[in-house]
Structure 1
Amino acid sequence: MPRLHSRALAAGCATLLFSLVTPAVAAHAVTGAQLSGTLSDGATWTADMPAHWNGTLLLFSHGFGPTTAADAPSDAVKAELLAEGDALVGSSYDPNGSMWALGSAERDQFATLAAFREQVGEPTRAISVGESMGGLVNAQLARDGGGRIDGALGLCGLVAGGVDLDNYQLDAEYTLATLFNPADADRLVGFSGAADSNALAARLTAAVTAAQQTPSGRARIALAASYLNLADWAPGETAPAATDYAGQEAQQYDWIAQGLLYFIVPARWSVEQSAGGNTSWNKGVDYAALLRQSVHAPQVEALYREAGLDLRTDLATLTRGAHISADPAAVRELQRTSTAGQGLGVPLLDVHTTADQLVPVEQEGAFAQRVRAAGDSALLRQAYIARQGHCNFTTAEIIASLHALEQRLDTGHWGGATTSDRLQRSADELNLDGAAFVRYRPDALSGVRR
């Protein structure tokens, strides 16, 4: 149904709603309230009601981290959405397991939606919103939610899924260990606990810090960065030119120096906990072929030449030593719980920054290919923000993206609502905190196992 954009209209219809739809009476009775509850698996949910509800409900899926209920990406976004009249709700996911809570997240989000409907009332429209790992949850909800949600907005979503994530991260970690700290080349998976993964992150970070001091070390860091799909535009820096290969490597190193490995290596432990074993492998991977598929191949080749290193020798060493095998049952579990793109049941707009160090923008390209293969490209649109950092959006960018999705739901077609020019204009008209929408096409995602 079309969104009731006018608060006056919503208020004016209150008497009619009272007489026609009993659940809507309850909804208006709790406007301005904060609500909460507990689901059957122990997950909790939280909701915020606006002073004057317009009928729209936003179901928020939070990212990787503590399993605490949240219903908006930030306090600033929450305030703006409530001012527009939207109701907000979201769950913690199952609090009894891993922070990689994909085994319960989709189920808990749908259960949260049902709990809201039971306790508050039937919304005129339900829209799913998710960021980071929650963007993967959001894509699953968009796939399976026909009849329960009307549309979905993804923010910096991990939409390529958990298997691809673990594999390209393994490729990068394996390269760093093999070339800088060979004793760790066989210690990259199957962690005994969080302390084990944190210790590995510390050793790899120290090795990269030392390697950055020499031309050969910098060339090899660039090789690992290419497998990691690591952005070459770091915070506080100007984006390097297309052929400024040394500048690109310096900014990739900045990401690592700022603690990137301290996040992605321990996160693998959480994934292994959730899946019940090692979920990534490199046995049989040809690292020369893998580099040829990377947009960063010219950078790596140039830095190796300048350092006087034989790139073919390093690539042969990596290929020869690649013998890590996954636990098949764990891979099946991760595929079951942590993939998306097998189709869409409702319109989905995905938004991503172009220099995302944690969830590379290249994931959007891989996701779009899978949606296209499923025959649902007409339901998907993607938009991009020219900025560094993971989920580094302004409030205006998120609100403008939501409005573009709502236009699609109102009219039944996308039109030009998701072009960079239209989104930029819409964000500017909000007079909030600016926007940087840009025309962009992601490169291929490295590390996808065929």
Structure 2
Amino acid sequence: MMVLTRTMRPIVMALSAIGLLAACAIAGEAATAEAGVEPAEATCPDGLPARTACYRGRSDEGAFYWIAIPADWNGTLVVHAHGGPRTQPPAQDDPVEDLQRFAVTVGEGYAWAGSTYRRGGYGVRMAAEDTDILRTIFWGRFGKPRRTILHGQSWGGNVAAKAAELYAIAADGSNNYDGVMLTAGVTSGGTRAYGFRADLRAVYQFYCRNHPRPDEQQYPIWQGLPADQSMSRAELSARVDECTGVGLRPSERTALQTSNLRNILGVTGIGEPQLVAHLAWATNLFQDIVHRRLGGLNPFSNAGVTYSGSDDDAALNAGVERFSAHPMAVARLAYDADLSGIIVLPTVTIHAKYDPTVFVGVDHFYRQTVASAGRSNLLVQTFTNEVDHSKLSNSEYAALLKNLSEWIDTGTSPSSSEIAADCDQYVTRYEEPCLFDLDFVPSLSVGSVNP
């Protein structure tokens, strides 16, 4: 497994470029939305309580949304920010998957509202704005709820945390939101979130030499792909299989494939089942970030990284492709996606210790960022023994929502042990366990820092 010296490098580069920020803007695309569509009644998807009322529509900016209000609504709205980023153009029913995944929210009496973002691809500030616009749509159609909670899942955790920093308080001093819940969130911020995937591209190419192939157009791998090229998931999977045999049974792999796979996983710390997924993000998402959001500039660096965990670390470190980030690219990415830690709302988080997609070490960074801003009293983090990312135990989600609501109402923050104790009351209802680890503290150790 590799020993990375990248921990604070993005911050330093962002600070060195801070003087340039006033002259830059996040590269983006003009919204091509048609006129917005007001919430219209819709048939609820499976998995929601009986007599739930569902609505769907589209904002003026182009984001599709769904709303679900249970018959026994408790007066609290949960505004959901989904993960990704999803690089495909959004579609009307995209939020249904998120609604079903977090149906526990509606089951516990909360109204739920979730939207796509106005376009596919990266853009945390854009997504945060679309999330807050959905809040205004709900308030305009159904009235201001007693409480409004922001919920961010995965990359949506970055989005929700950014939205909380930008939109928590209205211009007149009133609250737009009352609390925040982040589940498996990318809370390390944009400049820290993707370096490990840049490392993966470099290590993969050292062993495989097929992304790109020698007879194809050569490009710096931090680009993901050249701006005018595309690569399907199936094509990428075929290349990975060719080199590593990851799609084959171990007994069917050649000796070279076995060696390549062992070295790539050993150096990067990525699990075998997630190899293709992480490479896909390091291909198509990198292409989107670099060419469509950063004007072709490179936000990634492995110039000071020492890789370890291979059969021959010296050869790897001598032969791997090296690249250095452009200060403006880091500054622009930081402006869009980094977090200040200046939180003003009660915030609870949950993260599986063995999350294979967003490594739990990101929560160390968020705790550190919030502490540096002097806001630790507004953050309660919890961790579980699960080996999942997109969906944890419904009992745990219910306990988090209960404790966050009580915190908002009473002004007294819960401890992680109190949340874990409350979780037990939901086990019978949801037939899903409570797996909190009260002693775990995320660190910068290898295998935990990489989201």
TM-score of the alignment, normalized to the shorter chain, above 0.5: yes
Q: Which has the higher helix share?
A: 1
Q: How many angstroms does 1:329 deviate by? A: 4.2
For 1:363-374, list aligned pairs within 5 A.
Answer: 363-374=362-373
| 1:47 to 2:90 alignment | no
State the distance in 1 between where 2:332 and 2:284 align.
Answer: 19
SS in 1 for 2:245: helix
**Could you tell me whether the CA contact under 8 Å between 1:357 and 1:389 is conserved in 2?**
yes
Q: Which residue of 2 aligns with 1:281?
A: 300
For 1:18-417, list aligned pairs within 5 A.
Answer: 32-64=52-84, 65=86, 67-68=90-91, 70=95, 73-75=98-100, 77-78=102-103, 80-95=104-119, 98-144=120-166, 145-146=168-169, 147-181=175-209, 184=212, 186-190=219-223, 191-192=225-226, 193=228, 195-196=230-231, 202-209=238-245, 213=255, 217=260, 220-226=263-269, 230=270, 252-256=271-275, 259-272=277-290, 273-282=292-301, 284-287=303-306, 300=309, 309-318=311-320, 321-322=321-322, 324-416=323-415
Q: Which residue of 2 aligns with 1:26?
A: none
Residues 72 and 409 of structure 1: CA distance in aligned 2, closer, same or farther (over 3 Å): farther
**Could you tell me whether the CA contact under 8 Å between 2:182 and 2:350 is conserved in 1?**
yes
Q: Which residue of 2 aligns with 1:20?
A: none
State the distance in 2 between where 1:82 and 1:398 align.
Answer: 12
**Could you tell me whether the CA contact under 8 Å between 2:341 and 2:371 is conserved in 1?**
no
Q: CA offsets per residue over residues 156-190 of structure 1, 9 Å max, x none?
A: 11111222222221012212212442874954132
Q: CA offsets per residue over residues 242-287 of structure 1, 9 Å max, x none?
A: xxxxxxxxxx33432x654335432322333344434433253231
Q: How many angstroms does 1:116 deviate by? A: 1.3
Residues 325 and 186 of structure 1: CA distance in aligned 2, closer, same or farther (over 3 Å): farther
State the distance in 2 between where 1:223 and 1:315 align.
Answer: 14
**Could you tell me whether the CA contact under 8 Å between 1:131 and 1:154 is conserved in 2?**
yes
RMSD: 3.2
Q: Which residue type is aligned with residue 142 of structure 2?
A: V
Q: Which residue of 1 aligns with 2:8?
A: none
Q: How many angstroms does 1:106 deviate by? A: 0.9
SS in 2 for 1:41: coil
Residues 169 and 419 of structure 1: CA distance in aligned 2, closer, same or farther (over 3 Å): farther
Q: Which residue of 1 aligns with 2:443?
A: 443
SS in 1 for 2:385: strand
State the distance in 2 between where 1:41 and 1:371 align.
Answer: 32
Q: How many angstroms does 1:56 deviate by? A: 0.6
**Could you tell me whether the CA contact under 8 Å between 1:71 and 1:88 is conserved in 2?**
no
Q: Which residue of 1 aligns with 2:27?
A: none
State the distance in 1 between where 2:239 and 2:334 align.
Answer: 30
Residues 208 and 341 of structure 1: CA distance in aligned 2, closer, same or farther (over 3 Å): farther
**Could you tell me whether the CA contact under 8 Å between 2:99 and 2:114 is conserved in 1?**
no
Residues 283 and 433 of structure 1: CA distance in aligned 2, closer, same or farther (over 3 Å): closer
Q: Percent identity?
A: 22
**Could you tell me whether the CA contact under 8 Å between 2:158 and 2:186 is conserved in 1?**
yes
Q: Which residue of 2 aligns with 1:23?
A: none
State the distance in 2 between where 1:314 and 1:417 align.
Answer: 43
Q: Which residue type is aligned with residue 113 of structure 2?
A: V
Q: How many angstroms does 1:425 deviate by? A: 2.3
Q: How many angstroms does 1:46 deviate by? A: 2.4
State the distance in 2 between where 1:282 and 1:70 align.
Answer: 35
Residues 216 and 419 of structure 1: CA distance in aligned 2, closer, same or farther (over 3 Å): farther
Residues 282 and 406 of structure 1: CA distance in aligned 2, closer, same or farther (over 3 Å): same
Q: CA offsets per residue over residues 403-432 of structure 1, 9 Å max, x none?
A: 121122122122335556425424436444
Q: How many angstroms does 1:53 deviate by? A: 2.6
SS in 2 for 1:40: coil
SS in 2 for 1:393: coil
Q: Which residue type is aligned with residue 86 of structure 1?
A: Y
**Could you tell me whether the CA contact under 8 Å between 2:197 and 2:278 is conserved in 1?**
no
**Could you tell me whether the CA contact under 8 Å between 1:212 and 1:221 is conserved in 2?**
no
Q: Give structure 1 stretches of 5+ with no counterpart.
A: 1-30, 231-251, 292-299
State the distance in 2 between where 1:123 and 1:75 align.
Answer: 22
Ranked by relative contact order (alpha carbons within 8 Å, sequence separation 6 or more), the top structure is 2
**Could you tell me whether the CA contact under 8 Å between 1:50 and 1:87 is conserved in 2?**
yes
**Could you tell me whether the CA contact under 8 Å between 2:150 and 2:181 is conserved in 1?**
yes
Q: Which residue of 2 aligns with 1:5?
A: none
State the distance in 2 between where 1:72 and 1:399 align.
Answer: 19
Please identify the structure whose Cα radius of gyration is greater.
1
Q: Which residue of 1 aligns with 2:26?
A: none
Q: CA offsets per residue over residues 366-393 of structure 1, 9 Å max, x none?
A: 2211111111111111111212232231
